[in-house]
């Protein structure tokens, strides 16, 4: 059983579901209209009131989650948390409130998860499709075929900002609507050509915005589908009301009227700019994608593995050296008896990618690799995971002062020691028999090697002396012992 929590810019949502045959069946769904994006002040900070409302919701979600026996939970935050200047300060409070780590995901990762949710809901495996998701703070466009994504982009235009910026004070008129539509089109015009209809067969609207608009169109007799004509007719109906507070239409909850007008402007802008004939609403998206991602991880089909392998090939890493260092690092790490497996997979992936910076320069390649990993668009990885891997890669070579602030975490230190020694043994051209090595990492590092290895591998003593010096610089004693 899985739980997906989506901390969106407009609403916080929770899904609890269970994999059932070829589908994930939703057992529980909760939505609270937090309006987080509307709680950003002029400096781009979340206001105390907005943060308190969010914390109250998260505490409620925690109670809901506690009522189920869950195999995995993933909490993702989107646009509003991405742009809020004080999100890093707010995050620990939010995590404490819900009781789980919160991942602030990139727009591109959001798009991938949305597409995964949509693709798994459709029984058209080879279909070429465009998925559009209009959220509170951003809009994602994803082009794909079947389960495979071909292109994904995130645009910083969403229902909340569009509504607040163009329908000031809740006033709805023709001039405001046209200005909001033109503004939306300006976000998409440069990116539009690859998303034109010749590249796909069906367009799906995965967001609550698209589904609500479709519901209003049908229930009010405006039409039977979402297209340019029915969207324009709906726009005219809204203009006739004149003010958000007066909008009263079947299919639209009063609390959603304030943001749906901004969403309608964005959808009209997309339909016009991308020349979309029909938008098919679909009850699938980010939360379903998160649960499918959790299911794939549980069945050893982790997208992160493929992301790492793609990087190895794209950046021409020496696969023989990479695999050797990765295997040796894991063997050494196991000897240190880490308290948990928190760093195990990230250590392995970091080892595979530790030389990717050589595509930039052999000088300081570890720094280049660390920067690339932290800032790359890696499907399946969160920003926090990429930062962890970047730190490990930066720490595998040279001085340790650059990661000194992270050396108070015992398991991180063990991972760094394991990676550095694996690289050291590889450079010394040693075929390591780990049954003849003893590695202990507590308040100090103790390494015991066979005495004859020093004479058989001339550079080994040099590398080990340098290693002792570099750990000594950060106040960690590194002792070396030899055995017969």
**Structure confidence by residue, pLDDT tens digits, 440-451:** 998 899 988 877
Distances (CA, A) of 24 to 6, 136, 345, 467: 17, 25, 26, 50
- To the question of pTM greater than 0.85 for the whole model, the response is no
Confidence of residue 383 (pLDDT cuts 50, 70, 90): confident
Q: What is the pLDDT of residues 85-98, one digit of tens each?
A: 999 899 999 999 99
Question: With contact defined as beta carbons under 8 Å apart, do 142 and 151 qualify?
Answer: yes
Q: Which fold has domain 302-482?
A: Hypothetical protein af1432 (1.10.3210)
Query: Residue 483 pLDDT > 80, yes or no?
Result: no
d(Cα 207, Cα 422) in Å, to the nearest integer? Answer: 47
Distances (CA, A) of 10 to 14, 163, 217, 257: 13, 12, 22, 12
**Class of the domain covering 108-283:** alpha beta
Confidence of residue 484 (pLDDT cuts 50, 70, 90): low
What is the rounded average pLDDT for all residues in the chain? 91
Ranges of each domain in the chain: 2-105, 108-283, 302-482
For domain 2-105, which CATH number applies: 3.20.20.210, 3.30.70.120, 3.30.420.40, 3.40.50.620?
3.30.420.40
Q: What is the pLDDT of residues 226-264, one digit of tens each?
A: 999 999 999 999 999 999 999 999 999 888 888 999 999
Confidence of residue 32 (pLDDT cuts 50, 70, 90): very high
| Topology match between the domains 108-283 and 302-482 | no
Q: What is the pLDDT of residues 293-335, one digit of tens each?
A: 999 888 767 788 888 999 999 999 999 999 999 999 999 999 9
CB-based contacts of 54, cutoff 8 Å, min separation 6: 7, 12, 34, 36, 39, 46, 90, 94
Q: What is the pLDDT of residues 145-203, one digit of tens each?
A: 998 888 889 999 999 989 999 999 999 999 999 999 999 999 999 999 999 999 999 99
Q: What is the pLDDT of residues 387-409, one digit of tens each?
A: 999 999 999 999 999 998 888 89
Q: What is the pLDDT of residue 308?
A: 92
The sign of the CA dihedral 96, 101, 105, 110 is negative
């Amino acid at each position: 059983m899985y739980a997906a929590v989506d901390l969106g810019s407009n609403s916080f949502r929770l899904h609890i579901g269970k994999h059932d045959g070829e589908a994930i069946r939703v057992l529980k769904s909760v939505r609270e209209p937090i309006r987080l994006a509307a709680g950003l002040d002029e400096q781009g900070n979340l206001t105390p009131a907005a943060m308190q409302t969010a914390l109250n919701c998260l505490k409620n979600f925690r109670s809901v989650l506690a009522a189920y026996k869950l195999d995995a939970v993933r909490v993702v935050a989107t646009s509003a948390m991405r742009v809020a200047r004080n999100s890093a300060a707010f995050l620990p409070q939010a995590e404490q409130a819900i009781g789980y780590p919160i991942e602030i995901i990139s727009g591109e990762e959001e798009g991938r998860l949305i597409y995964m949710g949509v693709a798994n809901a459709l029984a058209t495996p080879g279909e070429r499709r465009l998925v559009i998701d209009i959220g509170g703070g951003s809009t994602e466009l994803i082009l794909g075929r079947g389960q495979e994504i071909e292109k994904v982009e995130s645009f910083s235009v969403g229902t909340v900002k569009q509504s607040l910026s163009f329908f000031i004070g809740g006033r709805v008129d023709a001039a405001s609507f046209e200005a909001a539509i033109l503004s939306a089109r300006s976000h998409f015009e440069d990116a539009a050509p690859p998303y034109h209809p010749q590249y796909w067969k069906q367009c799906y609207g995965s967001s609550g915005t698209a589904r609500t608009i479709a519901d209003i169109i049908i229930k009010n007799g405006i039409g039977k589908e979402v297209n340019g004509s029915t969207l324009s007719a709906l726009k005219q109906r809204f203009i006739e009301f004149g003010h958000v507070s007066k909008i009263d239409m079947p299919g639209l909850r009063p609390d959603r009227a304030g943001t749906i007008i901004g969403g309608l402007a964005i959808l009209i802008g997309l339909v016009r700019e991308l020349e979309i004939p029909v938008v098919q609403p679909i009850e699938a998206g980010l939360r379903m994608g998160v649960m499918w991602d959790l299911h794939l991880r549980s069945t050893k089909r982790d997208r992160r593995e493929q992301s790492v392998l793609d990087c190895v090939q794209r950046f021409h890493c020496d696969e023989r050296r990479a695999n050797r260092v990765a295997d040796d690092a894991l063997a050494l790490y196991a000897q240190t008896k880490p308290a948990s497996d928190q760093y195990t997979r990230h250590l392995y992936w970091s080892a595979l990618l530790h030389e990717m910076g050589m595509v930039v320069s052999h000088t300081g390649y570890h720094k280049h690799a660390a920067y690339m990993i932290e800032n790359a668009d890696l499907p399946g990885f969160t920003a926090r995971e990429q930062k962890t891997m970047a730190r490990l890669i930066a720490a595998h070579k040279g001085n340790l002062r650059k990661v000194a602030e992270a050396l108070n975490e015992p398991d991180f230190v063990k991972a760094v020691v394991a990676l550095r020694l694996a690289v050291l043994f590889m450079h010394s051209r040693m075929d390591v028999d780990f049954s003849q090595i003893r590695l202990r990492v507590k308040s100090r590092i103790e390494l015991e090697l066979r005495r004859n290895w020093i004479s058989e591998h001339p550079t080994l003593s040099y590398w080990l002396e340098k290693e002792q010096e570099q750990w000594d610089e950060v106040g960690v004693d590194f002792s070396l012992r030899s055995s017969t």
